[in-house]
Amino acid sequence: MMHGLTRSFFSIAVLPAFAWVSAASANTRGSDTADIAQEKGLPWIAHSSAEAFFLPSPGSSGGLPYQVSLYQGFTIQSLSFAWFHLGLRSRETMAPGFGSPYRQPASIKLGAGAEVVRDFLFVTLGGNVPVLGGEGETADTLAYYRAMNGYNPMPQPSLLSPRALHAGAYARHGGDNWTLLGGIGYSRSARVELVPDKPFFPAAYVEFMARAIRQTKRARHRWDLKLTLYGEEGSGERIPAHDEGDLLQFRYGYIKSTGRVGRQAGLGLAAKLPDANRRLRMASELVSPGRDENIQRAYAEFVLAWAPNPDFLWRFHLLPKALLTWDMREPGHEIEGGVSVGVKAWEAHRARWTGNILYGAIEGRTYIGLGMRAEFSFRHLGFQGLQDAAETVEGE
């Protein structure tokens, strides 16, 4: 779970760097949609993506750990103040220790958002509805628990248990040189049933998010703060089984753009409080209730975005991390690097390819991960252009 949260929070820093460099390039060469004939009709985006992650680490039990996911989504902006999203995802995960892959052949994603107060207050509501439920082996329950609650480079928790419900409200206030954002969200994961007739519900959580952005003549400064409060895991009878430790994340980012090049540097910290002991558990080889697998992270980030011409955008990122336990006895490290290229196709549409590599060591284990992602967005502009940020709604 910790690794998945790192990725989602890191995207807060990476995606605005893309958008900002693109905007800076557009200011110097003109908007990339300025010359497109605006067709009448509702603006919409058809988004397709495929991603895969492999963990060819020494000492991995069973087969090669991996996760693959296919997604097809459709977003429509009915009016300037509302949008709707429908998507279909198919995924498969082979986590370390699994005897067979965990499959979710089809899951429908629904989402909607609205601007309640113009340029100030926004609300979102969505979730995932499994069409064909997840399948796994009963013997994999211990490995599943470790993948969900311990620190592991894979799988991302959303691939094992996507959000069945997510609701949020966000406010934004802008001034001459400052922009302030804040929000609250509630998420509840989908049920999991590896043991027949014994469903399991991962912990729901509430998130509080705040961001401050200050624009100066030389650069843009950004501060992010995020607090995640977890509830209790539960069985099918909703019997409390485990209290997940709360998570606090902080990041500072320094973003600068000159011409066709954008640069970002920053520092961050993610601290996860100790879990509460499991008060009720089945007689089995579950992880010891006295063991705290939560890992704290301090990290730096470096992003370089380059737009050599209006049709191409390159991005390079590097994310070194220090991994620490509460007792500080077994510190570890992890570093992630990647490169992606975005292409503008047929004036308005977007294609993007991304490759990542991950290397780390924790608790005496060394691992290497390789990730790939390909996506294409067919955009119908309608009455007005759609921002690139709308293309990321399929993320968990």
Output the pLDDT for position 38: 40
Q: What is the domain class of 2-392 according to CATH?
A: mainly beta
Report the chain (396 residues): mean pLDDT per 10 consecutive residues. Answer: 38 36 37 37 85 78 83 83 91 86 90 91 93 78 76 76 91 91 93 78 90 92 94 62 79 91 93 66 47 75 91 93 78 92 86 94 85 90 44 49
Q: What's the sign of the alpha-carbon dihedral 308, 312, 313, 316?
A: negative
Amino acid letter for position 322: A
Amino acid letter for position 130: P
Q: Where are the domains of the chain?
A: 2-392
Output the pLDDT for position 293: 58
Q: How far is CA 163 from CA 124, 157, 201, in A?
A: 14, 10, 11
Output the pLDDT for position 3: 42
Output the pLDDT for position 381: 64
Q: Collect all residues with Cβ–Cβ distance below 8 Å to 45 and sequence separation of at least 6.
A: 73, 74, 75, 377, 378, 379, 380, 386, 390, 391
Q: Tokens for 317, please give them.
A: 């990122």
Output the pLDDT for position 152: 73
Q: Tokens for 62, please give them.
A: 């069973």
Output the pLDDT for position 121: 94
Q: Is 385 exposed, middle or buried (0-12, 13-18, 19+ CB in 10 A)?
A: middle
Reading across the β-sheet that carries 198-201, which strands appear in turn? 192-195, 198-201, 232-235, 240-243
Q: Is 26 helix (H, G, I), strand (E, B) or coil?
A: helix
